Structure 1
Amino acid sequence: MLSYDELTSLERELWNAFPEGRRVDLRVGSEAGDRVAGGGDWGPGRTVRAEVIAALLLGARGVEGAGAVASIGLVGARISGTLNLGGAQIGHPVWFEDCWFDEGVNLFGAETRTVAITGSRIPGLEAGSTRIEGRLDLLGSTVETMPVSAFHREISALSLTHAHVTGGVILNRAVLSAPEGWALSGGGLVADGGVFCSRMVVHGEVRLLGAQLSGGLFMREARLERPGPRGVALALDSAVASTLDLSRGFTANGTVRLRGTRVSDNVTFEGAVLNGPPDGTGPALLCTLMQAVDFDLTLARPPSGTVDLRGAQVSQLHDSEQSWPEVVELDGFVYGSIKVTEAGERREAVARPDSTAHRLAWIRRSPGYSPQPYEQLASWYRKAGHDDEARRVLLTKQRHRRSSLSLPARVWGHLLDTTVGYGYRPWLAGVWLLVLTLLGTAVFGANSPTRAEKGEGAPFQPLVYTLDLLIPIGGLGQRTNWYWTDASLQTLSYVLIAFGWILTTAVIAGVTRTLQKS
């Protein structure tokens, strides 16, 4: 235990200020002299030992009868040694401003009040399994890679693994640097008041797997400049959040991964830049199995890597011409409605030929063939009352599917497409029936058939005979009364009978579908 006599004059000043919660300000008043980047050169007149701060927080200085809230308040100081408070129960707020820490800060497993280290330089902050009744404020601070030590075995700068912060985690304008590891390791973090990272700069991976962010995650204008070794800039796998705001200049030079993330409100990338990993080997945005209400992907420019939305579910999708890269994974992606941004205005997507063609081209960006994206788009068109566009989508689905079939199946598919549009264009059957009727009438009218039984039946009528061949139900008395001795004409009769069955069935199906809709 430190005694009062062992303290320097500066440490005695802090010791005496602690019960009253007074701040000790050691700044000299000049920009050059108070620049934190040069804090390693500050001499004894601005240096406080970390063990003195720890002793105060652990009860070495009595605070009875002080008439104020005891707290550490230190401005413009150099902290020498490791501030080791692992496992401690701390009942006093801690405030550091514009300070230089020679070594890291260990709060692992501690229970404490608000911890504020703003505008400072810290070589690693370990706060795993810590419970903070208040906020963790690192506004404008630089947190660098902490050395591997007895209290930290991984390469990271800021560790909040399984921590619980009842207030907000403030990282606005902070710089987190761990190029070979995790700049922020927050797996299992519970942040009731939200995580605020506006204009934050990161070198390394931000890892928040399974985090519970009931107050949301806000990363407007944040720059994730260099991903971790795996090419991941931000990992939020299986996290639960109220909102994810990665907008207004948010830039990620690595994969943004929202795999299995559940968001009760909106996920927005409005005006963001998603560059993907620098080596181009991974996706720019991976949202497999993500769940959200609003999903805003109106980016500043198209992503340089793929976007993977397989199995994601959103109520509203917002997109624009800048939203999609060359490759988009859409299998299993479910959405309730689509809103588009054009000329700076956001509105409900409308069904018109050019917009439908745009949506179909969007689906074709997905590698291979999958029916679900087409069925999902058709379902949305039906709900919006655009049945014609829904049929167009499903027809395109069949044409895309045809490319994955064997040669005989492709031939049959081309026949169905040409004749009846796979059943989605039944009026084509009527056109073909008309063409075949005219053809049969012309060919049969130029030739003379043989009567089946002499002297019986109506005279030969080419038009009626052709219709008798094409209409498979009932009979008009011509087909049974006349036959052809010419093999080619007899073959034409058989062809008309076959097409009659196919085309008439398609027409009946189309009429039935129309009557059911009315």
Structure 2
Amino acid sequence: MLSYDELTPPERRLWGGFPEGRFVDLRTGLPEDDRVAEGGGWGPERTIRAAVIAALLLGAHTAQPGAVACLRLAGARISGHLDLAGAQIAHALWLEDCWFEESVDLLGASTQTLVIRGSRVPGIEAYSARVEGTFDLRYSVVESLASSPFNHVSTALSLSDARVTGGMLLDGAEISAPGGWAVAAGGLVMEGGVTCRGGFVARGEVRLLGAQLPGGLFMQGAQLVSPGPRGTALALDNAVGSTLDLSDGFTANGTVRLRGARVSDGVTFEGAFLHGPSDDRGPSLAAPLMQGVDFDLTLARSPSGSVDLRGAQVTSLHDSERSWPDVVELDGFVYGSVKVDEGGERREAVGWRDSVARRVAWIRRSPGYNPQPYEQLASWYRKAGHDDDARRVLLAKQRHRRRTLPWAARVWGHLLDATVGYGYRPWLAGVWLLALTVLGTLSFGAHSPSPVKQGEGAPFQPLVYTLDLVIPVGGLGQRTAWYWPHDSLQWLAYLLIAFGWVLTTAVIAGVTRALQKN
């Protein structure tokens, strides 16, 4: 137990100020002497032992009646290990511009508002901690722990299974665990918002697996400059939150993972840079099974790696020409509407010139053939009242599918495409029939056929004879009454009969397919 006689002059100032919550400022006021990065050189006049801070927070000096005890300290070098593991702390802790010699241990602790602002800390262990208030690390530099009993990789800020009733403020902070986990916060429950703005930098993976963030996550302009051991910059798998704002210059030099994340409002990457892993072996954005309302992917630059949206569901998709890389996984992706960013304006994507061709090209960026992206796009066009565009999409689907079929099926597919457009262009059959009718009429009209039986049958009519050949059902009496002594015309008659059967079969097959799909 510490005694008052053992305290140094700056420690006595802190001791005396604690019961009244008095602010103890050890800074000199000279910028060159108060740089926190050089705090290791501060002398005894600015040094406070971590044991003294722990003793005060744990009740070594009682509060004064009518005052709120609070430990408020600035400009100090804190020597030794601040060990508050398992502690029940009833007082707020406010440390500003301090330099920590060793890490801070809040493992399983329960504390009030915790502020470590503008300071340098070699690691914070807060696994399963409870903070009744705000956790403020703004403008601090937090470096990786030498070791952690709960993580197998180096970690700078450990908040796994922690609970914070207020918000967490990381604006302007620099959290570093290169090749490890900058933030390990799986299972974190953050009742307020998490802000990582104003120059926030993370070196190592920011890991928020299964976190509950009802107040949202705001990382506008954040820089995730070094991925974790698996090339991941930000992991929000199965997280639940109101808003994910990764915009305004947000930069990730690694994969952003949103697998199974559920966002009740919006997910925005407006003006963001998604560079993906440096080895180009992983996706820039992996968001399979994600659920959200507004999904804004109007990036500042096209992602360097792939985008995976398989099984994701959003109400509204916002994109631009810079949104999509060369490879996009879209199988199972469901959206209610699509808006495009063109010239600084956002409009519904339907009705734009070449909009269908651009959307089909977007789907074609998916490896292999999957029918669902085409059907989803066609469904959206139909809901928007653009049935013709929906049919164009479904025709593109059949043409893509044809590439995966055996050669015989591909030949039949080409025939269906050329004749009736797989049933989505039935007017093509009329064009073919008209062309064949004109050809037959002109060819047969230039010559005289021979009657099968002299003096019997109707007079020869080239147009009626041609129609009798190309229409395979029923008969008009001309085909059985006349024949051609010229082999060339007789072969033309056979070809017209064959084309008639093929066209009729193609029409029936194509229209049946169209009716089934529509």
Q: Same fold (TM over 0.5)?
A: yes
What letter is aligned with 2:114? V
Counterpart position of 2:467: 467
Counterpart position of 2:108: 109
Change (3 A) 1:10 1:263: same
Distance 2:281 2:399 in 1: 31
2:182 equivalent to 1:186? no
Counterpart position of 1:173: 172
2:141 equivalent to 1:142? yes
Change (3 A) 1:152 1:323: closer
Change (3 A) 1:291 1:151: closer
Distance 2:512 2:310 in 1: 36
Structure 2 gap ranges (5+): none
Counterpart position of 1:302: 302
CA positional deviation for 1:94: 0.6
1:119-518, aligned counterparts within 5 Å? 119-148=118-147, 154-198=153-197, 199-484=199-484, 489-504=489-504
- Per-residue CA shift, 1:317-350, capped at 9, x if unaligned? 1011111112111111111111011111111113
CA positional deviation for 1:180: 2.1
> Would the aligned equivalents of 1:307 and 1:328 in 2 still touch at CA under 8 Å?
yes
What letter is aligned with 1:259? R
Distance 1:69 1:171 in 2: 26
CA positional deviation for 1:166: 0.8
* Higher deviation after alignment, 48-57 or 6-15: 6-15
> Would the aligned equivalents of 1:108 and 1:151 in 2 still touch at CA under 8 Å?
no
What letter is aligned with 1:67? G
Distance 2:494 2:259 in 1: 59
- Per-residue CA shift, 1:290-317, capped at 9, x if unaligned? 1110000111111111111111111111
> Would the aligned equivalents of 2:423 and 2:511 in 1 still touch at CA under 8 Å?
no
Distance 2:306 2:150 in 1: 39
What letter is aligned with 1:241? G
Change (3 A) 1:60 1:151: farther
CA positional deviation for 1:483: 4.2
Distance 1:180 1:338 in 2: 38
Distance 2:501 2:454 in 1: 30
Question: What TM-score, normalized by structure 1, do the two folds share?
Answer: 0.95
What letter is aligned with 1:116? V
What letter is aligned with 1:327? V
CA positional deviation for 1:375: 1.2
Change (3 A) 1:153 1:502: closer
CA positional deviation for 1:443: 2.9
Distance 2:260 2:453 in 1: 77
- Per-residue CA shift, 1:98-150, capped at 9, x if unaligned? 00010000111111111000000000001110111101100000000111156
User: What secondary structure sits across from 1:52 in the alignment?
Assistant: helix
User: What secondary structure sits across from 1:419 in the alignment?
Assistant: helix
Distance 1:153 1:429 in 2: 68
CA positional deviation for 1:493: 3.4
> Would the aligned equivalents of 1:271 and 1:299 in 2 still touch at CA under 8 Å?
yes
Distance 1:13 1:21 in 2: 12
* Higher deviation after alignment, 503-512 or 128-137: 503-512
> Would the aligned equivalents of 2:214 and 2:241 in 1 still touch at CA under 8 Å?
yes
> Would the aligned equivalents of 2:423 and 2:514 in 1 still touch at CA under 8 Å?
no
> Would the aligned equivalents of 2:421 and 2:510 in 1 still touch at CA under 8 Å?
no
Change (3 A) 1:460 1:153: closer
* Higher deviation after alignment, 126-135 or 364-373: 364-373
CA positional deviation for 1:442: 2.5
> Would the aligned equivalents of 1:186 and 1:208 in 2 still touch at CA under 8 Å?
yes
* Higher deviation after alignment, 149-158 or 377-386: 149-158
Change (3 A) 1:153 1:106: farther
* Higher deviation after alignment, 219-228 or 446-455: 446-455
Counterpart position of 2:99: 100
Amino-acid identity (%): 71
Change (3 A) 1:352 1:46: closer
Number of aligned pairs?
515
Change (3 A) 1:179 1:72: same
What letter is aligned with 1:181? G
- Per-residue CA shift, 1:334-376, capped at 9, x if unaligned? 1111101111111111324412211111111112221111111
Change (3 A) 1:190 1:337: same
What letter is aligned with 1:46? R
Change (3 A) 1:229 1:493: same
What letter is aligned with 1:193? G
Question: What TM-score, normalized by structure 2, do the two folds share?
Answer: 0.95
Q: What is the alpha-carbon root mean square deviation over aligned residues?
A: 2.2
> Would the aligned equivalents of 1:22 and 1:73 in 2 still touch at CA under 8 Å?
yes
Counterpart position of 1:25: 25
Counterpart position of 1:69: 68
> Would the aligned equivalents of 1:351 and 1:381 in 2 still touch at CA under 8 Å?
no
CA positional deviation for 1:152: 6.4
> Would the aligned equivalents of 2:420 and 2:510 in 1 still touch at CA under 8 Å?
no
Distance 1:348 1:300 in 2: 20
Distance 1:425 1:352 in 2: 21
* Higher deviation after alignment, 85-94 or 404-413: 404-413
Structure 1 gap ranges (5+): none
- Per-residue CA shift, 1:256-292, capped at 9, x if unaligned? 1111111111000000011111121111111111111
